[in-house]
A and B are shown apart, each in its own frame.
Chain A
Amino acid sequence: MQILALFEHSLSIEIVLSALMQKDINKNYIGVFPLDQPPHSTKRSIDDVQRRMDLGFILATAAGAIGASIGFNLNLGPIIWGIATSVGGFLSGYLINVILGKRKKKTEPQIILVVHCPKSKTEEICHLLWDYQSIGLTLTECEVHPLH
């Protein structure tokens, strides 16, 4: 049997590989193929978590400093005004970035794992892959298996 599974980059893919070795699957029967991202998404854009928050943090700092200063003269005092204006600054900066940036869904880079194994072990290995956060999996059968 041949198992094809999809993973995201994380430590669990490496744990899966070592678990497969322990289950006596020969390294020659395991292929791992990390996929490249589409070319436009490797260029860093405003869609990234961090880029989306750049302006939020900037405006929060500026608004917080001014708000806390003015707060010394206002009813509720510098701490409450400082916090309130920071939150306001952060939200307005975040909104501006989100509105200006085109919202494209950014996907994580992924990995294809291919395992050739005897039929008897198929179920066991599928369980293992699901347990370690495989995000998709399929089985294919071949008439004359070249390896087993």
Chain B
Amino acid sequence: MPRRIKAYHSCLGIAQLYDRNPFVVAWWSAAFPGFGHMLLNMHLRGNLFFLFEILINVNAKLNLAMVYTFCGKFESAKNVIDTRWILLYIPFYFFCIWDSYRSAIDMNKLNDLAKDEKLTVQAMVIKNCDICFLDKRNPLIAAIYSLFMPGLGQIYTKRTIPAIALLIWTLVISYFSKDLEAVERLVSGDIIGATRIVDGEWLLFFPSLIFGASYDALASTVEQNHIFTLEQKQYLWNEWQPAHFYINLPIRKEE
């Protein structure tokens, strides 16, 4: 067993190290605290940050203040913010960005150490609760499913832990933002009614939720395909190299 492993496979899916751009990870933490950690497979703290982000943001009415600010209504923005909550947000927010950035850099170093080691990941895991196997999957399909509903792409790539979290939060955010009711009104032509019914505080979670989930699905599918290739290559080199095998040269036909 190598001391530093590159990937681990269980019935909850694959966790793996790969070469990441720390700025991209930091960006996702800034867009939605918790997403950066989810990309790094740090699901426990990622989910803690999710919970805090939504709890504090909703109570501080931060998204609503953003809506007012972008619309130029600075007085309304100032009035709507709840100072009891907003000051909690600041240290939490910047710690989250910094922590994911720092972790990404450290994990890149670990990845450099682990990549020449023997790959110990199992090709297939069968447990009572689930069956997981390494396979090639299409990254674009994963991304598109998560665009429709954050979490579905994660199920497709067998990232069960983020899939559960994302699906639950999609449900909660969609319910409170009333986005689908607004879509229904838009379709029937009632544009003003749609704008009135939708809740800006909750609706503003959607851009980062949808695109973050989609990016996570895309990136992790690409990397899992890479692990599949590495594992298969290792297997073929170990098992399918007969001792006295030789390749015959073709005989040139005499003219």
At the interface, yes or no: A118 with Cβ under 8 Å from chain B? no
Known contacts A13-B232, A82-B207; A2 and B248 CB within 8 A of each other: yes
A79, B245: Cβ atoms closer than 8 Å = no
Known contacts A50-B222, A53-B215; A65 and B248 CB within 8 A of each other: no
Known contacts A61-B211, A66-B70, A68-B204; A9 and B233 CB within 8 A of each other: yes
**What is the bound-complex CA distance between A71 and B192, given in angstroms?**
11
**What is the bound-complex CA distance between A72 and B237, given in angstroms?**
60
The interface size bin for chain A is 35 or more
Note all chain A residues with C-beta closer than 8 A to B210. 64
Q: Mark A107-148, 1 if CB is under 8 A from B, else 0.
A: 001010010100000000000000000000000111101100
At the interface, yes or no: A30 with Cβ under 8 Å from chain B? yes
B240, A65: Cβ atoms closer than 8 Å = no
B247, A31: Cβ atoms closer than 8 Å = yes
Note all chain B residues with C-beta closer than 8 A to A15. none
B211, A73: Cβ atoms closer than 8 Å = no
**What is the bound-complex CA distance between A53 and B143, given in angstroms?**
11
Note all chain B residues with C-beta closer than 8 A to A27. 240, 242
B212, A61: Cβ atoms closer than 8 Å = yes
At the interface, yes or no: B198 with Cβ under 8 Å from chain A? yes
**What is the bound-complex CA distance between A13 and B212, given in angstroms?**
34
A79, B24: Cβ atoms closer than 8 Å = no
Closest to A139 in B: B250
**What is the bound-complex CA distance between A50 and B139, given in angstroms?**
8
B211, A64: Cβ atoms closer than 8 Å = yes
The stretch of B9-17, B44-52, B87-95, B179-187 that contacts the partner chain: B179-187
**What is the bound-complex CA distance between A72 and B182, given in angstroms?**
12
Most B CB within 10 A of own CB, among A29, A60, A79, A86: A79
A10, B212: Cβ atoms closer than 8 Å = no
A17, B240: Cβ atoms closer than 8 Å = yes
Known contacts A64-B211, A79-B183; A31 and B139 CB within 8 A of each other: no
**What is the bound-complex CA distance between A4 and B24, given in angstroms?**
43
A72, B212: Cβ atoms closer than 8 Å = no
Note all chain A residues with C-beta closer than 8 A to B27. 58
At the interface, yes or no: B129 with Cβ under 8 Å from chain A? no
At the interface, yes or no: B19 with Cβ under 8 Å from chain A? yes
Known contacts A34-B233, A54-B24, A79-B179; A140 and B249 CB within 8 A of each other: yes
A78, B208: Cβ atoms closer than 8 Å = no
Nearest chain B CB to A146 CB, angstrom units: 7
Nearest chain A CB to B205 CB, angstrom units: 9
Known contacts A28-B245, A64-B207, A111-B236; A79 and B182 CB within 8 A of each other: yes
B195, A109: Cβ atoms closer than 8 Å = no
Give me 7 other A-B pairs in contact (C-beta within 8 A), A60-B211, A72-B195, A79-B194 excluded: A9-B136, A27-B242, A31-B242, A57-B214, A62-B31, A65-B208, A72-B200
A-B contact pairs, 16 of them (CB 8 A): A2-B247, A13-B232, A31-B242, A50-B139, A57-B218, A58-B24, A61-B31, A61-B207, A72-B195, A72-B200, A77-B198, A78-B195, A82-B207, A111-B236, A114-B245, A142-B249
A residues sitting closer than 8 Å to B (CB atoms) are 2, 4, 9-11, 13-14, 17, 27-34, 44, 48-50, 53-54, 57-58, 60-66, 68-73, 75-80, 82, 86, 90, 109, 111, 114, 116, 140-143, 145-146
B residues sitting closer than 8 Å to A (CB atoms) are 19, 21, 24, 27, 31, 66-67, 69-71, 135-136, 139-140, 143, 179, 182-183, 186, 191-192, 194-195, 198, 200, 203-204, 206-208, 210-212, 214-215, 218-219, 222-223, 228-229, 232-233, 236-237, 240-251
